[in-house]
Structure 1
């Protein structure tokens, strides 16, 4: 029995009829049926997104390919990624958000804010910084869950927190968000969304390449004061002792926890 016709011919009439009745096939060959299924899926996707603004959808494609590579010789070791803020504005992260700026930034997830409100805590720090935000320092809340955290959702949360101009809520492709997280944490597990109990906030001076961090639950006034350590200061007068700002010098024998007296 080399084919289906011979096989059916060898069965009793009732059995053959029962088998035939039990099968249902759509018209056309397998390729034609696959094409029809693909067209139907695309039509359904178009119908679903017909009334959606681009900011309501995740950032699925960026023109910049980071390649997950961090080059310590360029751009203060930041990967070349494009990020989009809550208004839908996309810029290369280093050139648009870091270069020649004093910044404070952290990683967050809108889904996690209920049990780990790191961004809501940063609103207290922003309030302490006052009118410095958007002028002397820029604040970035970067999504760990970009497939959920669309620009529109980020904008809604920014409005809820009363975010001033200069506080950007950033999202991008999953790879780009993960590349940025790895740049700051240097640990692969920190690039993923998920429940957390501890985290840090980063601050730095993009012109000087000077970076520090503090725990997310620090007192707001203490956090704001630390950010000012990396802000540009007036040049010292002749004969005046030079003071360095920023995190402490790494010296196990030095008991000071800052550089304000260096």
Structure 2
């Protein structure tokens, strides 16, 4: 009888610890609202039960009428999706939830996803605005005075996490896609797959980026490549045109204004702006709110990179010619 009492006491203590542990984490079933939502295919789902329970997920909030940050964020996540490949929809799940559900019907969201060539495993969702706002508050992605202000500004953070383990983190939409993909596929999954061994002798030289290069990497590279060395032709950045040589193809004054005021130029029906809009799947160039100095720095970098890669190409051609002559 004494042993049974001890066993029952131990079992009760373990159960108590388990309950306390579950209560201690804010990321369990009792924390998340089970918000009803509708995806781009018209399927009805619930946020906790159908979308995040026991899953590794990345969640962001967008609206398709956004002319600045949302297209950039969607393009960046598209790169992450391509890096993860068929793991998306199997091991990792992407969710983009509209903050403008009155405008963003399932049909509108489906067309938006198609413009960005989004693959399987990524759902675009709409629902009741008040319930979506409450969900954003619970996820820590709602800033009072910004998200409920008169303007259409909103919190740009992503939230990524593993609901089963309770590991969650915020991430920037300007995050390097390789870093974000690694967090989703490895850190949050806690996979035991060892990293591929590579020689440090093959590591590239590290040089401090210029202001223009930093702007390109953080703002432009989600949609644009910069020549063969930067992913041209492998589908990573096919949302917009490759920018190698663009300073030679276009007038500088036009480029400068296009960088700073693409929305106004499209509204004015600028011929070249409209042509690019039509050519690249009707994805509008976002207004990134860059000033004149930013535009000058960016154009200087694009010119320097065009010249640098041109010099490298000539050197490689000369080496190839010398080798064939031997």
TM-score (norm 1): 0.57
Match of 2:176 in 1: 219
Residue by residue, what CA displacement relative to the aligned partner does 1:133-158 show, whole Å, maximum 9, x if unpaired?
01110000011111111110000111
Q: What is the DSSP-based 3-state SS (H/G/I as helix, E as strand, rest coil) of the residue aligned with 1:187?
A: coil
Which of 173, 178, 182 does residue 137 from structure 2 map onto? 182
1:196 Cα deviation after fit:
3.9
Map residues 74-223 of structure 1 onto 2, 5 A cutoff. Answer: 75=29, 77-112=31-66, 114-116=67-69, 117=71, 118-185=73-140, 187-189=143-145, 191-192=147-148, 194-196=151-153, 199-223=156-180
Structure 1 residue runs of 4 or more that deviate by more than 2 Å after TM superposition: 71-74, 186-198, 232-235
CA distance in 2, matches of 1:174, 1:198: 16
CA distance in 1, matches of 2:162, 2:44: 22
1:198 Cα deviation after fit:
6.4
CA distance in 1, matches of 2:180, 2:79: 10
Distance 1:73 1:99, change over 3 A: closer
Over aligned residue pairs, what C-alpha RMSD do you find? 2.5
Q: How many residues align?
A: 165
For the 8 Å contact 1:76–1:209, the answer to whether it is kept is no
For the 8 Å contact 1:179–1:191, the answer to whether it is kept is no
Structure number with the higher helix fraction is 2
For the 8 Å contact 1:80–1:94, the answer to whether it is kept is yes
1:73 Cα deviation after fit:
8.2
1:210 Cα deviation after fit:
1.3
CA distance in 1, matches of 2:95, 2:34: 17
Which of 164, 179, 188 does residue 230 from structure 1 map onto? 188
Larger radius of gyration: 1
CA distance in 1, matches of 2:126, 2:132: 7
Unmatched runs of 5 consecutive residues or more in structure 1: 1-70, 236-262
Unmatched runs of 5 consecutive residues or more in structure 2: 1-24, 194-326
